[in-house]
DNA sequence: GCAATAGTGTCTGTCAGACAATATAGG
DNA sequence: CCTATATTGTCTGACAGACACTATTGC
């Protein structure tokens, strides 16, 4: 039987999702419009939900993903927990934030059907891994973020930048087969600055995480690039 | 007024502390003997406590630190949250784990007064940042760890190894003034392999995070080393 | 052949590891 | 002077960035 140990009043515990993709060379995140903007400090927020007794954290991630976005769970990883007392004006909520990495194709298709969701472009003021808040834009318009979600999205960008070099995290934004240019676009979107092609190619191949498929991309007007895939 | 939003039954939320130090060239962690070893799967566990309504995560860290160890809060940082359904056989508990970094001197003094606490040496099977469980020893004896605390301690070592190079995390184990050899000992303990002195010196000074004080260590039989401190 | 992009070769500066040499304290 | 440690100097190999070059495709 699933039960809790303590019977004292306790804070609520929630999972918030940063569903990320790279669209047109820009890092983007799914945000949800809220009706209670005045109460929670902004009109847009990360999709999330309470952790119920009997559900693990990963169960909750899957449930929120299916219920609010309507797509099957993708690769996700835990970012951090946020527990400041005043972060939610309605009461004490501890949020455990997850990153979910998606190729933009299937995600855009699903978002077109959900008017309450938008895919916001993320921008940060700071270089490298210094850290700070992030800002969300839709077209040219800044979106007001609820709770501490601007801080959370800043931490997301910081984490992505930090792990990009030595982990396969960048491939989460790509379909199973991709060109090296695709990977470079993802890295440039996350890092926020351009990279030189030959150095990037070599670094990527030296890491040994990807391998050539032998196939080539189709549909381009010029020389087609080779398709690669993540090993194993 | 501090309150919770949802009134449904919910999991317990706890904070667990990995209070770390480097003693005699080995990475060590404070563990607490448990009377309910049969129930929770092992005799030794990380000190921890439930997050109460009205306390932030940091408040809870400070409270647990004071109550169970008896020393003032030191530099700590969040590691991750653990929420598997069966991690605590008594009920569903989500633990948010923090690292607390201490110089060994004051910590050893305090531990001498608390028979229920021990300072266990940590060992891992895996090289670099591969990850996996950690094992705890007291003298030559392996200690049985409760809950998922062996996994947590493995993640702790992985995190320390990952952040050692580009963050001031190593200095948390040292008093305000220290020699470069002291820093090297800390790094060797965390990484689990020896380093070459001249390269280590230069890397450290090039990072620009520490500065010479002009003072020299005393009490040694041979040439005294210069004392350094963290900038700012 | 032309345009545009894919992919390669080469140079160079930075930096970490290895090792040797010098400096300085107590005895 | 001797010992043991601190500190500095030099060499070298790995590697990332910059840039120029070659290759391949559609038109």
DSSP string, chain B: ----S--S---EEEEEEEEEEEETTEEEEEEEE-TTHHHHTSSEE--EEEPPTT--HHHHHHHHIIIII-S---EEEEEEEE--TTSSTTS-EEEEEEEEE--HHHHHHHHTT-TTEEEEEEEESS-TT----EEEEETTEEPPBPTTHHHHHHHHHHHHHHHTTTSGGGGGGS-SSB-HHHHHHHHHHHHTS---HHHHHHHHHHHT-EEEEEEE--S-SSPPPEEEEE--
Q: Which of B78, B90, B94 sits opposite A51 (nearest CB)?
A: B94
Q: Do B85 and A54 touch (CB under 8 A)?
A: yes
| Lowest mean pLDDT segment, chosen from A18-32, A112-126, A181-195, B31-45 | B31-45
Touching check for A88 and chain B: CB below 8 Å?
A: yes
Residues B19-48 have pLDDT tens digits of 999 999 999 999 999 988 777 777 999 999
In A83-132, DSSP assigns E strands to 93-101, 117-124
Touching check for B216 and chain A: CB below 8 Å?
A: no
Residues A10-61 have pLDDT tens digits of 999 999 999 999 999 999 999 999 988 777 777 999 999 999 999 999 999 9
Q: Do A4 and B92 touch (CB under 8 A)?
A: yes
Q: Do A50 and B92 touch (CB under 8 A)?
A: no
Residue B219 CB in 7 A reach of strand C: no
pLDDT the model gives residue A191: 94
- The per-residue pLDDT of chain B, averaged, comes to 93
Average pLDDT over residues B69-77: 88
Q: Do B5 and A12 touch (CB under 8 A)?
A: yes
- The per-residue pLDDT of chain A, averaged, comes to 93
Touching check for A91 and chain B: CB below 8 Å?
A: yes
Q: Which of residues 188-227 of A touch strand C (CB under 7 A)?
A: 197-198, 201, 221-226
In this model, does residue A186 exceed pLDDT 60? yes
Touching check for B5 and chain A: CB below 8 Å?
A: yes
Give, as ranges, the nucleotides of chain D with any atom within 7 Å of a protein CB: 3-10, 15-20, 23-27
Contacts of B3 in chain A (CB under 8 A): 91-92
Residues facing B196 on adjacent strands: none
Angstrom distance, A167 CA to D22 C1': 32
Percent share of chain A, pLDDT over 90: 83
Touching check for B92 and chain A: CB below 8 Å?
A: yes
Q: What is the pTM assigned to this prediction?
A: 0.94
Q: Do A6 and B50 touch (CB under 8 A)?
A: yes
User: Nearest chain A Cα to B53, which residue?
Assistant: A10
Residues B142-199 have pLDDT tens digits of 999 999 999 999 999 999 999 998 899 999 999 999 999 999 999 999 999 999 999 9
Which of the four pLDDT bands, split at 50, 70 and 90, describes residue A1?
Answer: low
Percent share of chain B, pLDDT over 70: 99
Residues A61-91 have pLDDT tens digits of 999 999 999 988 788 999 999 999 999 999 9
Which of the four pLDDT bands, split at 50, 70 and 90, describes residue B1?
Answer: low
Contacts of B5 in chain A (CB under 8 A): 12, 88, 90-91, 93
The Cα–Cα gap between A88 and A14 comes to: 11
Touching check for A225 and chain B: CB below 8 Å?
A: no
User: Nearest chain A Cα to B93, which residue?
Assistant: A4
Nucleotide nearest to B222 (CA to C1'): C25
pLDDT the model gives residue A72: 82
**Residue A147: strand, helix, or coil:** coil
Average pLDDT over residues A217-230: 89
């Amino acid at each position: 039987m699933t039960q809790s140990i303590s019977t004292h009043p306790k804070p609520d515990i929630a999972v918030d999702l940063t569903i990320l993709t790279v669209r047109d060379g820009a890092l983007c995140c799914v945000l949800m419009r809220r009706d209670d903007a005045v109460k929670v400090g902004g009109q847009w927020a990360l999709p999330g939900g309470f952790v119920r007794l009997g559900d693990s954290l990963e169960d909750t991630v899957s449930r929120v993903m299916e219920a609010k976005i309507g797509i099957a769970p993708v690769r996700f990883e835990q970012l951090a927990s946020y527990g400041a007392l005043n972060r939610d004006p309605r009461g004490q909520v501890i949020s455990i934030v997850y990153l979910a990495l998606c190729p933009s194709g299937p995600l855009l298709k699903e978002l077109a059907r959900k008017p309450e969701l938008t895919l916001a472009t993320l921008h940060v003021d700071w270089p490298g891994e210094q850290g700070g808040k992030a800002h969300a834009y839709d077209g040219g318009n800044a979106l007001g973020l609820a709770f501490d979600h601007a801080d959370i999205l800043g931490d997301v960008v910081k984490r992505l930048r930090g792990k990009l070099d030595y982990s396969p995290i960048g491939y989460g934004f790509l379909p199973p087969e991709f060109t090296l240019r695709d990977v470079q676009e993802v890295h440039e979107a996350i890092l926020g600055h351009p990279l030189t092609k030959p150095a990037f190619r070599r670094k990527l191949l030296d890491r040994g995480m990807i391998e050539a498929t032998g196939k080539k991309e189709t549909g381009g007007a010029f020389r087609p690039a080779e398709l690669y895939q993540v090993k194993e």
